[in-house]
Chain A
Amino acid sequence: MTSQVNEVLLRSLTPSVLGILVRRGADFAAAEDAVQDALVEAVRVWPAGPPRDPKGWLVTVAWRRFLDAARADAARRRREDLVDEEPAPGPAPAVDDTLQLYFLCAHPSLTPASAVALTLRAVGGLTTRQIAQAYLVPEATMAQRISRAKRTVSGVRFDQPGDVATVLRVLYLVFNEGYSGDVDLAAEAIRLTRQLAAAIDHPEVAGLLALMLLHHARRATRTTPDGSLVPLAEQDRGRWDTKSITEGVEILQAALARDRLGEFQAQAAIAALHADAPTAEETDWVQIVEWYDELARLTDSPVVRLNRAVAVGEADGPRAGLAALAALDASLPRHAAVAAYLHERDGDLVTAARLYAEAAHKAPNLAERDHLTRQAARLNARRCR
């Protein structure tokens, strides 16, 4: 009889095992390959004989793999000096190994796509195939993307602290973009952010974790079984995950109490206000507008000002929303969709229908396009009756 290996538990050991190898003097790229081999081996042999000390087992197997590879490499380069096979004692860990790996995998020298792929593999312990499937590219392409990323960061010193903001941007991308294949990227992003929050005490890490939990709580209600988008106001709030909301709100409140506001905390605060409303009509839009004002101050992002116009339309009426919108560049993504919504609220169905159709034409994804097309069709059908 065999039992299944708890793969998430297994993968959660990835960063500390990799950190130990690097501390022992293994170079990052080779150590990362060795840890992947050890994970594959664990999935194969643990069901028959689970080790008493899983982390110790992984370190031993990964280190052996690393030495084997180093020896093979040395044999290939016979004419060159042999590499020193014995581990040099690494520098004393000044910063937590897990945290260092997050910094390394999100290093500013990497493109966002490379940083995402490297983080999912070296910190998340996912296989190249799983990552390739999640981003709909061939496995060979993803393998190259990861090995190039490893080469790019190979000269980065492992013991110097990095920038938390770059790590957060990578985790946000994992949560927000990608396709659902074999791996649940949103759940994986939450796991990785939770792990990061355990390694570093930082209000924005907490803010991002809260933001993810609050959005994840609504996931089951965001689409119908056939994949159609359901707008926030029409979602079945009874099916929101209250456990996830409670956890998100608690994490957010603790972060906000420290009075070091950042964009993720502000975004989470907006998500929390939505989560807090028993019905869409009871949403505290006045407070949401205030949070958007904070967010605009923090990020100066036109997308934030666009979302703010929606909130203003709810708080002060559609005319006020349209006035806020008039100040913004009409070429912004989703500008037409917002304008359509506000015109419909204002009773101008002809303009709204035209703008919904225009927004559908410009939609960046299929689900949104279909949703906007249905809105245009709904208004056109009503006018024809």
Chain B
Amino acid sequence: MAKYLLLKHYRGAPAAVNDVPMDRWTPEEIAAHMRYMRDFAARLEGTGEFVDSQALAPEGTFVRYDGAGRPPVTDGPFAETKDLIAGWMVIDVDSYERAIELAGELSAAPGAGGEPIHEWLEVRPFLTAPPTITQ
């Protein structure tokens, strides 16, 4: 039992095989893509492996503390930021191999021409609770 984050990048991941921006797809292709993502999440709920799925807006603001009694400083968004997270899915699976298998399936979501996007997803393990028995 281990949780993994399947991370989808707007920018920062290697280029997908079927690398056509979404605004160039047909409306039907977009609908098919959304349906694939929904079905994928529903299927994982059915197998007892789904934890969470969220999408993020592309534009973010950087914030930092600026001393007592002063409002935080904000900056950005930075157009040149190399790595931009688009969203994620969290899964709870029996093995690393299963996490890789599922990420592979998610990467097969259809894009332009109804063909799989083959986009690169990043798989990151969660840190767990410490076990009781270690020695």
Q: Is B46 an interface residue (CB 8 A)?
A: yes
Instruction: Please state if B131 and A177 are interface contacts (CB–CB under 8 Å).
Output: yes
Most buried by B among A117, A144, A186, A267: A144
Q: Is B128 an interface residue (CB 8 A)?
A: yes
Instruction: Write the nearest CB–CB distance from A258 to chain B, whole angstroms.
Output: 23
Residues of chain B within 8 A (CB-CB) of A148 are 46-48
Q: Which residue of A lies closest to B98 (CB)?
A: A111
22 contacts between A and B (CB under 8 A): A112-B94, A113-B92, A113-B93, A116-B1, A136-B3, A137-B48, A141-B92, A144-B45, A144-B47, A146-B48, A148-B47, A148-B48, A177-B1, A177-B128, A180-B129, A211-B133, A215-B133, A307-B135, A365-B128, A365-B129, A367-B129, A367-B130
Is the interface on chain A under 10, 10 to 19, 20 to 34, or 35 or more residues?
A: 35 or more
Check A232/B135 contact, CB under 8 A, given A112-B94, A113-B92, A369-B127: yes
* Interface residues as binary, B77-100 with A (CB distance below 8 Å gives 1, 0 otherwise): 000000000000000111000000
Is the interface on chain B under 10, 10 to 19, 20 to 34, or 35 or more residues?
A: 20 to 34
Check A368/B132 contact, CB under 8 A, given A113-B94, A137-B92, A144-B47: no
* Interface residues as binary, B40-53 with A (CB distance below 8 Å gives 1, 0 otherwise): 00001111111110
What's the A-B contact tally at a CB cutoff of 8 Å?
87
Interface residues of A in 134-153 (CB under 8 A from B): 135-138, 140-142, 144-146, 148
Instruction: Write the nearest CB–CB distance from B40 to chain A, whole angstroms.
Output: 14
Residues of chain A within 8 A (CB-CB) of B131 are 176-177, 365
Instruction: Please state if A229 and B133 are interface contacts (CB–CB under 8 Å).
Output: no
Chain B residues near A (Cβ < 8 Å): 1, 3, 44-52, 92-94, 125, 127-133, 135
Instruction: Please state if B129 and A177 are interface contacts (CB–CB under 8 Å).
Output: yes
Instruction: Write the nearest CB–CB distance from A187 to chain B, whole angstroms.
Output: 11
Q: Which of A117, A138, A366 contacts B50 (CB 8 A)?
A: A138
Instruction: Please state if A366 and B133 are interface contacts (CB–CB under 8 Å).
Output: no
Q: Is A363 an interface residue (CB 8 A)?
A: yes
Instruction: Write the nearest CB–CB distance from A122 to chain B, whole angstroms.
Output: 15
Check A363/B1 contact, CB under 8 A, given A144-B45, A211-B133: no
Instruction: Please state if B1 and A179 are interface contacts (CB–CB under 8 Å).
Output: no
Residues of chain A within 8 A (CB-CB) of B52 are 138
Q: Which of A142, A180, A215 contacts B48 (CB 8 A)?
A: A142
Chain A residues near B (Cβ < 8 Å): 111-114, 116-117, 135-138, 140-142, 144-146, 148, 173, 175-180, 186, 211, 215-216, 219, 222, 229, 232, 267, 270-271, 274, 307, 310, 363-369
Check A114/B48 contact, CB under 8 A, given A135-B1, A137-B92, A310-B135: yes
Residues of chain A within 8 A (CB-CB) of B127 are 363-366, 369
Q: Which residue of A lies closest to B44 (CB)?
A: A141
Residues of chain B within 8 A (CB-CB) of A145 are 47-49
Instruction: Write the nearest CB–CB distance from A313 to chain B, whole angstroms.
Output: 13
Q: How far is the CA of A267 from the CA of B135 in the complex (A)?
A: 9
Residues of chain B within 8 A (CB-CB) of A363 are 127
Q: How far is the CA of A81 from the CA of B90 in the complex (A)?
A: 43
Q: How far is the CA of A145 from the CA of B132 in the complex (A)?
A: 25
Instruction: Write the nearest CB–CB distance from B53 to chain A, whole angstroms.
Output: 11
Residues of chain A within 8 A (CB-CB) of B47 are 144-145, 148
Q: How far is the CA of A138 from the CA of B3 in the complex (A)?
A: 13
Q: How far is the CA of A145 from the CA of B48 in the complex (A)?
A: 4
Most buried by B among A177, A219, A367: A177
Instruction: Please state if B132 and A219 are interface contacts (CB–CB under 8 Å).
Output: yes
Instruction: Please state if A141 and B94 are interface contacts (CB–CB under 8 Å).
Output: no
Instruction: Please state if B1 and A113 are interface contacts (CB–CB under 8 Å).
Output: yes
Instruction: Please state if B46 and A111 are interface contacts (CB–CB under 8 Å).
Output: no
Q: How far is the CA of A211 from the CA of B133 in the complex (A)?
A: 9
